[in-house]
Amino acid sequence: MSYAALDPYLYLYIDELVPCQSRSIVGWMSLVAALSEVFALYIAGRVLKLLGTNLSSIIIFLAFSIRFGGYYFIRQPYFFILMETMHFFNFGILYVLIAQKADSIAPPGLSGTLQGVALGMLFGLGRGFGLLAASFIYTFTQQPFLFLIFTLFNLIVAVIYALYSILNRDLSKKSNEQNNNTSDIVIESDIQLHEELLLTSPTKNKLDNQIDEL
């Protein structure tokens, strides 16, 4: 949904602030965003391996929040160029993260299909809903208010996802501990059964020998 506020509403906002310089500013912003994206795609594998998927997802939401916050609070459009460095996380890392996650959970032979569905949900359906919401906000409120709403939206989602990750990690630890305890009980019962067999086998052999002597 956050991509819906970037294109075209960010460019319309810049054109309203500085009509004569908007094209050059948008051009520099696109250049910085493209360079950040290429660099992110080059090292995305190492970044995801270092940070993990959960922490990377939280950073992506925070990067969106910082980006939209800059658009709202900065009044000089030339400084918007600095905010485009967040495209490193907002597209490069995000794209590879979705592709890797879809590949890891896809059934055999359906990796490409699931990746296409996931990316279609992100850049198609999600952006469509975002455009509807952004058009309503941009039309009936002050233009900068759109970026403030998306700033708060991404910040709230980042907090919710962080709490979810912590709870999910705790539940995973508890389930692993329960599985370990269950395996220990099974091993102990097997050991006890084996010891009982060893203890009873000599007695049985003695009885067999006495019967043979008789």
Task: For residues 61 and 137, give the distance between their C-alpha atoms in angstroms, rounded to a whole number.
Answer: 21
152 has a pLDDT exceeding 70: yes
Domain count, the chain: 1
113 has a pLDDT exceeding 80: yes
94 has a pLDDT exceeding 50: yes
Q: pLDDT tens digits for 55-76?
A: 999 999 999 999 999 999 998 9
- Structural domain contains residue 70: yes
CATH of the domain at 44: 1.20.1250.20
Q: Which of 109-123, 145-159, 163-177 has the lowest mean pLDDT?
A: 163-177
- Structural domain contains residue 204: no
Task: Tell me the whole-structure pTM to 2 decimals.
Answer: 0.79
User: Which residues are CB-neighbours of 102 under 8 A, at least 6 positions away?
Assistant: 111, 114, 115, 117, 118
- Structural domain contains residue 71: yes
- Structural domain contains residue 211: no
Which residues constitute the domain of residue 104?
3-168
- Structural domain contains residue 140: yes
